[in-house]
A and B are shown apart, each in its own frame.
Chain A
Amino acid sequence: GQNIDQPTEMTATEGAIVQINCTYQTSGFNGLFWYQQHAGEAPTFLSYNVLDGLEEKGRFSSFLSRSKGYSYLLLKELQMKDSASYLCAVKSNNNDMRFGAGTRLTVKP
């Protein structure tokens, strides 16, 4: 089976940096995804990691350590519009995609 854990809520200040952690246990690993979801809206793709290391995409970066079952999403230069839920999702070898419960990030001025 799969367990995906991430903090329920986080708060950060506009302009700051925030790191959202995700730990997972899976039987067969085929990639880790981060999605952003604003309340009442559809999730939107942010990043994908399948190999260890850091993937950078503008203000967002995502890191993966497969041996530790660990990933983080790093958001730099926070903006008010970054207030949203951030979902960590793991794909297993049988294409089953499991999402964590999400981390609700609140950015304050």
Chain B
Amino acid sequence: QKEVEQNSGPLSVPEGAIASLNCTYSDRVSQSFFWYRQYSGKSPELIMSIYSNGDKEDGRFTAQLNKASQYVSLLIRDSQPSDSATYLCAVNAYTGGFKTIFGAGTRLFVKA
């Protein structure tokens, strides 16, 4: 079982809609969770971090964490074509030392 799982997509949403990206993880002791955005040919960019259960909002982005269900999500409101990218979920896990494990990413396509 992969440690961090994401649907590879592509997830296609119309402009102005809400995009919902999901991620599950296997390590129950994980404490830190991150969402990165990666445009094609570019390196990842940190957009959100979340450490406690519940929602965390930053502009059009909302991260949701449910540790009991080992589930973290990212909502993008009022999606724009410029949001089209691959979104990487990352989880800090203990594997003989803490390490950040990245999911394979979900490709998001926002149609104008």
Partners in one complex: no
Chain B residues packing against A (C-beta within 8 Å):
none
Chain A residues packing against B (C-beta within 8 Å):
none
